[in-house]
Each structure stands twice: as structure tokens, then as C-alpha cells.
Structure 1
Amino acid sequence: MSTILHITASIRNDDQSVSRSLSNRLVEGLAARTGALVAIRNLATNQLPFIDEARFAANLTPHAERSAEQQELAAIGDELIAELEAADTIVFGVPVYNFSVPATVKAWADLVARAGTTFRYTANGPEGLLKGKRAFIAVASGGMPVGSPADFMTPWLTHFLGFIGITDVQVVAADAIMGAGGEEKIAAAHQQVELLAA
């Protein structure tokens, strides 16, 4: 049976978060159509540690060679990577905070980017190891148009996913919704979600 990993990052609740409402609907539709299991990782409530020297060293130490302290430090990264490895589809519900991803998403990325596990270095450069998966990014922004010069979020997250081997990525955006026509933009994004989930 396939698995969908649903990763959300908005600090707002379901009733207020546009990115979460979009990703919730997409996950519901995909799961109903495929019968997939759904795993949820809410980065806003499951606070992740920021990477530091000790945790970085623990992450790169082979499992059998880790000290007890390193086992503890590496445990959250192991858990996050296992979630990615088990998933066939990853759905992100991510708002734009100050032109980029929320800090929690960057913390997640730093923990799952592990040389030898999710990517490796080769003579031809880095190679992502989480191949054969697809991802959807449901984006909401108040003032920044996705794809504009001020959009540092969607190019970064798309590039990061490609770096770890996930190159089949689609973006659904309800962007610049605090300006004119915001409700129409949200409705259009929901229509796009319905088509993707069908």
C-alpha cells in the first residue's frame, strides 16, 4: 500500500491557514483515490532542533558506531528520513514567511539532508537517493507573487527536493492573497487542487 507524507508548517490553525487547507484537501483527495495511508508531520507543533556540530557529527556516524549520546542526537533525523523513505508521495503545506520557508522547514531540511543516506557525492557531483517519489507544494503568501524575483521559497524547496532525489514536483500557489482579488486566488488554487486530486 502506498503512503502519503503530509508536511505542514503554518503557525495558523486549520480554519485560518490557506496553505494547510490546500494541502489538507489535496491529501484527502489523493488518499481517497489511491487508498494510500497518510502520515502527518506538523512542523509548527513538532518543534525540531536546529543542527549544531554535535548533531551533525552524530548524523554522519554509522548507526552501529554511534555513542549513546549520538544515538539520541541522531534519533530525530533518523525518524524524519524514515518518513521520507516510506512515502511514495510527499505533500507540503507551506506558507511564505519573509520571502522564504518558515525556519521549521529549514530545520527539517538540515536534518534530512544526510550524505550517504538521502544523497551522495559522486565524480559527477551530488546525487539524490530518494528517487521514484513525487511531491506537491501547496504555497500561500500574503504579498509575494510566486515566481517573482522576491520568491526565494518555491525555487529553494524545489531545488532541495531535487537534491535528495525528488524531482517530480508540482506547485499549487495561492499567492499575494492580501492584495486585490485574494479570495479569487484562493478559490483558483483550490480548483487546481481538485484537478490534481482527481
Structure 2
Amino acid sequence: MKNTFRFLGAAVLVSILSFTTPDSKKRIVIDAGHGGQDIGATHGFYSEKQIVSNIAKQIASQNRNTEIEIILTRDDDEFSSLQERTEKINKLQPDLVISLHVNKNTKEEANGIEAYVCEQNEKFEASKTHAEELISVLSDNKLRSRGVKTAPMYLLKNAKSPAVLLELGFLSNANDRSYLSSDTGQKEIARKILDYLAL
């Protein structure tokens, strides 16, 4: 009888440990685009590299879900090439990569959020599904949906995991810029992404 209880106790312990190891977590890489001398889109004092870095940090800091591990490709104003980012991501073998960017257009009326995926990515179908769902979650009366598009972008093409690039809005549009540059807007975007990842 004692041996039976020992066996059951060991089985329960193994079961508990199997759900608390890092392997049981959903591993998500958040790639804040640009960095360092690569500023990205700008408008006045606002820069793409800073806005997406702020949102990436918000995603990491707001995450309270022990089943989700958030990994940032950069957590400061540093530059790394697309090849370096992609190699780092592939070593991590995440469940999903979300690359954050901000748009700009010579037409100030251009606005809204759009997602990009790459048909050459080996996980294209999964990438497309994630992109469609993220756009659905993130678009509202503040950021209108511009849909999901395909493009052979380096990171999207060479990532070995499902990968989505989000253009979160236009710095050249007054309404988008006001929302994207605000603390409230950045926190809301981060929370919506986390809510999606928790599904």
C-alpha cells in the first residue's frame, strides 16, 4: 500500500512538473522594428523606432499570464540587422513572431492598421490566420482595418515560425499619430495583443 501511494505521489508530481516547465509555455517573440541609427518613419519629434519599442515593452510588462513567455528582440535603442534578428528568432523557436512597425505616407489621409505575411514562409497558413485575427482584435474606431497583405519581407520569409508584421498606423495621419504616440494608445494596443495571445 505504501508503495502504491509513493507511486501515485510520484505520478502526480511528474504531472504537475510537466505543466510548469518552460516547454509548456506559449513562447512569443515581439520584434520592435528598427533601432539605433535606423529610426524608421518619423514625424516631427515622433519616431517609429521609439513608438514600437514602447509598445513592445508594454506587452512584456503587462503580461501576467504564466502560460505565455514574451521575448523581445530588443529592449533598448540598439540596432541589429534583419539577418541577426531572424537568426535569434529561429534559435528561440517561438510559437509566433509579431514584428511591430508604424507606417507613413505622403497622403495625410492614409490611415489604419494592416498586417503582412509572406507566402514563402513555411508556416504561411498559420501566419495568415494569426494576421487576420490580430487585425480583427486591434482594429476599431481608433485604428481602422486595412486588411492582411503579402510581401517577401526578409524576416517574414526566413522565420521558421509563424510570423506577422503589423503596421500599427500612420505617423503621417493626425488621428493615428495622436493615438500611437499616447501612453493610453500604446497600453491599449499592448493589452489587445496580450488578450489575443491568451486565447
User: Normalising by the residue count of structure 1, what TM-score does the alignment of the two structures yield?
Assistant: 0.42
Normalising by structure 2, what TM-score?
0.42
Max Rg structure: 2
